[in-house]
């Protein structure tokens, strides 16, 4: 979807030093006034019920035009928030494109009618799709800046490659590029803001944080969000930053501040923090009325600082434009804005038939049978001796580690980060220590083999891990990150659901963030207790856009992880901790290209009487139960291991149920609202005529996993409880 960079932007509008020319000052005014007029027109359209939402950038125009003119669209990278209309206009988004989003048109280039107005996105301009969630974008900017630096250090990673996501993910970068991210002062209360400052500071990243401080977060004044009322004072001790606190209603001051900030970033000195004090002359949005919580005196004081009026006064004072000339310019812009709105109102609306487009990649289908390869017999992993490890059966932990080694060798765009995943952050120690390589040792040896810029420890902050992964992935890299325990995935939930999984759909396919998140999960640990035994996969299969994988044995883990890494969708890859080193399910190393397509269940035990649909650590328990049921009760159970939960293999389930007419769905997670509820409901719905008995479910008790093994055993499904369910169902 090609957008033209605005021809309206005056070349050379922002000299590095020296006076701004009259022409440049007029251009700045033009952009600011245009932004205000687009807001005013949208407000009118909302009142006429021709659009459905409005949030304005009024009062922030000087700050945003200053930022835009100091940076380069299509060269630098932009992670704005909903107020950033003037920024986006000055970067080159047209008023018509803005109105197309407001009416929800098919031709809305930012989202195809999926997002509210003011949710910016433009690939040609490098404006990365933004959500309504305050502050998530700042972590994307950090990951984006890291990706840019990675590409300049690893030009070999830019190359396209056939056979995986790289065929569709082109890379652009510049050695001195900068990422700009903007947010309101209220949003600095979010943890993600501090997490982003942490990493940007620590890694000296070229990110400009622009705080647009209008004194309010909807109705909440700044002193409630920010201790002492000034965010600049709180962040002042972060190392490597360039700081500027400025009058955000004076366009020239703003422009100069961003030029200095960009120079600091481009020179490789670290990030910058520009804190602009601006105003909010309109209420928060059209759904808000600030007269309900602000005094008249306060609102009048704000009006006196309106940046548009200030800039207009300057043009008059300095004799750059006369009153008549200003009127003529404004009338001209009004006509352009009105015409753009009229055109947008005539635009075609999105077809209902297209709703499901771009939930997942349209370029690469990870369920394709062509992905499947056979294990290579007698394969020996690069760097290992055949006698030591070559053909002996290896654990799931070993074969996941082997896959990571092989894929990192195969694809220079892969980076691995997370808590404790490196061998040793202090590289000097590597000569004498064995290395940590993850609390479960799944990433052991990766840093030693591939270097500290490809495998590194992140700070202890899960949103930071996933948010950065989103930023990296939007640049065409392949982050394969680790969340140390499923029990601690929750701080990242916001990033997973609202960002990672949604990036492609909400931008109508313009952007995507196909990262892989590896997550140790599950119980049966004896002593794992509440916070090291959780399951909860259905919370993620309930998120469109996210692939969810859950292998039960070493070979599947190896082949499915490869598909996860090579595919073009974000993947949550669950690894059951109890299965990491079990004797069950070991396998020989299958070679560096062994892959299993998603959505293909495996029949781990054929049978004629009952179908048992399961996955993960229940697979070996179901096998024990089925053997016992056969031995002691003569019941022949067929066990399907789903292997991937989204997508899942409905055909395999239906084929088996049609054969046996009796089915149990079993999982380790809690019974109620669990993954099995959906499968059971679909079987009851679509296979009713094939059933001889009700669909049965087995799951954990509706509680968390207790520490005392006696309690853990009772809480989680056991072979004995599965045998009991098999007997009951047979007798039905
Ligand atoms: C994570 C999240 N929480 C709450 C909201 C609802 N909300 C939208 S804007 C806003 C206030 C933001 O204030 P500030 O950061 O100061 O930006 P401003 O609107 O003043 O420019 C809130 C609470 C949201 N969009 N996202
Ligand atoms: Mg605010």
Tokens of 265: 């970033």
Active site residue 633: no
* 4 Cβ closer than 6 Å to some ligand 1 atom: no
Residue 90 has phi, psi (to 5 degrees) of -70, -25
DSSP result, 181-218: EEEESGGGGSHHHHHHHHHHHHTT--EEEEEEE-SEET
Specify the pTM: 0.96
* 214 Cβ closer than 6 Å to some ligand 1 atom: yes
pLDDT at 365: 97
- Cα 219 to ligand 1 centre (Å): 10
Residue identifier of the C-alpha nearest atom 25 of ligand 1? 133
pLDDT at 14: 55
Instruction: Find out whether 102 and 51 touch, Cβ atoms under 8 Å.
Output: yes
pLDDT at 16: 61
- Cα 213 to ligand 1 centre (Å): 12
pLDDT at 663: 98
Task: Give the C-alpha separation, 557 to 186, whole Å.
Answer: 43
pLDDT at 15: 56
Residue 376's CB is within 10 A of a number of other CB atoms, namely: 14
pLDDT at 562: 98
Q: What is the CA radius of gyration of the chain?
A: 28
* 64 Cβ closer than 6 Å to some ligand 1 atom: no
Please tell me what DSSP assigns to residue 305.
T
- Cα 498 to ligand 1 centre (Å): 15
Looking at the CA of 225, name the nearest ligand.
1
* 452 Cβ closer than 6 Å to some ligand 1 atom: no
Residues of the chain with pLDDT under 50: 1-12
Cα 179–Cα 185–Cα 188 angle in degrees, nearest 5: 70
Task: Give the C-alpha separation, 181 to 464, whole Å.
Answer: 15
Task: Give the C-alpha separation, 265 to 270, whole Å.
Answer: 5
Tokens 């060798």 belong to which residue?
Answer: 409
Task: Give the C-alpha separation, 159 to 212, whole Å.
Answer: 38
Among 135, 187, 493, 495, residue to substitute to test ligand 1 (most atoms within 8 Å of Cβ)? 187
* 365 Cβ closer than 6 Å to some ligand 1 atom: no
- Cα 132 to ligand 1 centre (Å): 8
- Cα 186 to ligand 1 centre (Å): 7
Ligand 1 atom, smallest distance to 133 CA = 26
Among 134, 248, 502, residue to substitute to test ligand 1 (most atoms within 8 Å of Cβ)? 134
* 285 Cβ closer than 6 Å to some ligand 1 atom: no
Residues 6+ apart with CB under 8 A from 463: 139, 191, 192, 195, 491, 492, 494, 495
33's enclosing H/E stretch is helix 22-47
Task: Give the C-alpha separation, 290 to 553, whole Å.
Answer: 59
Instruction: Find out whether 609 and 662 touch, Cβ atoms under 8 Å.
Output: yes
pLDDT at 2: 30
Of all residues in the chain, what percent carry a pLDDT higher than 70? 97
pLDDT at 8: 42
Looking at the CA of 183, name the nearest ligand.
1
- Cα 639 to ligand 1 centre (Å): 49
Of 242, 284, 532, 667, the active-site residue reads: 532
């Amino acid at each position: 979807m090609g957008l033209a960079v605005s021809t309206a932007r005056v070349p050379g509008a922002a000299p590095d030093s020296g006076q701004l020319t009259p022409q440049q000052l007029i251009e700045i005014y033009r952009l600011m006034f245009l932004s205000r007029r687009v807001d005013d027109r949208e407000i009118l359209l909302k009142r006429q019920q021709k659009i459905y939402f409005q949030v304005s950038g009024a009062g922030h125009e000087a700050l945003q035009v200053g930022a835009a003119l100091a940076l380069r669209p299509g060269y630098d990278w932009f992670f704005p928030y909903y107020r950033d209309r003037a920024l986006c206009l000055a970067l080159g988004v047209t008023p018509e494109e803005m109105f197309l989003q407001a009416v929800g048109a098919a031709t809305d280039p930012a989202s195809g009618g999926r997002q509210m107005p003011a949710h910016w996105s433009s690939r040609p301009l490098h404006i990365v799709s933004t959500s309504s969630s305050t502050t998530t974008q700042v972590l994307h900017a950090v990951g984006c800046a890291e990706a840019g630096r990675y590409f300049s250090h690893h030009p070999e990673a830019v190359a396209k490659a056939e056979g995986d996501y790289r065929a569709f993910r082109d890379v652009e970068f510049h050695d001195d590029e900068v990422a700009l991210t903007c947010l309101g002062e209220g949003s600095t209360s979010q943890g993600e803001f501090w997490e982003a400052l942490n990493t940007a500071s620590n890694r000296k990243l070229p990110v400009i944080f622009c705080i647009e401080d209008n004194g309010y977060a909807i109705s909440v004044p700044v002193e409630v969000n920010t201790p002492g009322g000034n965010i600049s004072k709180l962040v002042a001790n972060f190392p490597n930053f360039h700081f500027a606190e400025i009058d955000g209603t004076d366009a020239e001051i703003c422009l100069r501040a961003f030029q200095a900030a960009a120079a600091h970033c481009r020179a490789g000195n670290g990030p910058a923090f520009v804190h602009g004090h601006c105003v909010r002359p309109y209420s928060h949005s059209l759904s808000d009325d600030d007269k309900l919580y602000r005094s008249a005196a306060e609102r009048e004081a704000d009006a006196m600082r309106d940046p548009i009026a200030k800039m207009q006064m300057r043009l008059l004072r300095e004799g750059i434009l006369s009153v008549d000339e200003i009127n003529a310019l404004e009338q001209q812009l009004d006509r352009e804005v009105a015409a753009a709105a009229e055109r947008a109102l005539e635009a075609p609306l999105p077809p209902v038939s297209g709703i499901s487009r771009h939930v997942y990649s349209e370029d690469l289908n990870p369920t394709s049978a062509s992905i499947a390869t056979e294990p290579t017999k007698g394969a020996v992993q690069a760097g290992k001796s055949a006698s030591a490890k070559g053909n002996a059966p290896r654990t799931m932990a070993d074969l996941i580690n082997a896959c990571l080694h092989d894929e990192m060798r195969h694809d220079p765009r892969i980076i691995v980060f997370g808590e404790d995943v490196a061998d040793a952050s202090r590289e000097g120690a590597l000569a004498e220590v064995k290395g940590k390589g993850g609390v479960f040792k799944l990433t052991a040896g990766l840093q030693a083999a591939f270097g500290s810029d490809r495998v590194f420890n992140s700070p202890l902050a899960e949103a930071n891990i996933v948010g950065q992964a989103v930023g990296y992935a939007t640049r065409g890299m392949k982050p394969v990150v680790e969340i140390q325990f499923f029990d601690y995935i929750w701080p990242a939930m916001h990033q997973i659901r609202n960002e990672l999984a949604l990036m492609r759909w909400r931008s109508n396919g313009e952007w995507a963030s196909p990262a892989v998140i590896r997550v140790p999960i599950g119980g049966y640990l004896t002593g794992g207790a509440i916070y090291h035994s959780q399951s909860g996969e259905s919370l993620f299969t309930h998120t469109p856009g996210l692939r969810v994988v859950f292998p039960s044995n070493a070979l599947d883990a190896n082949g499915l992880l490869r598909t996860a890494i090579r595919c073009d969708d974000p993947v949550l890859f669950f690894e059951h901790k109890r299965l990491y080193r079990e004797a069950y399910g070991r396998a020989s190393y299958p070679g560096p290209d062994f892959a299993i397509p998603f959505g293909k269940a495996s029949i781990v035990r054929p049978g004629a009487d009952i179908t048992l649909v399961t996955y993960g650590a229940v697979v070996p328990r179901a096998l024990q139960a089925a053997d016992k049921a056969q031995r002691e009760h003569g019941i022949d159970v067929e066990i399907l291991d789903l292997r991937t939960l989204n997508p899942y293999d409905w055909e395999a389930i239906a084929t088996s149920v049609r054969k046996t007419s009796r089915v149990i769905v079993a999982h380790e997670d809690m019974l109620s609202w669990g993954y099995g509820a959906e499968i059971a409901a679909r079987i009851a719905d679509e296979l009713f005529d094939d059933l001889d008995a009700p669909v049965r479910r087995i799951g954990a008790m509706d509680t968390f996993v207790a520490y005392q093994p006696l309690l853990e055993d009772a809480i989680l499904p056991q072979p004995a409880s599965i045998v009991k369910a098999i007997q009951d169902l047979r007798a039905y």
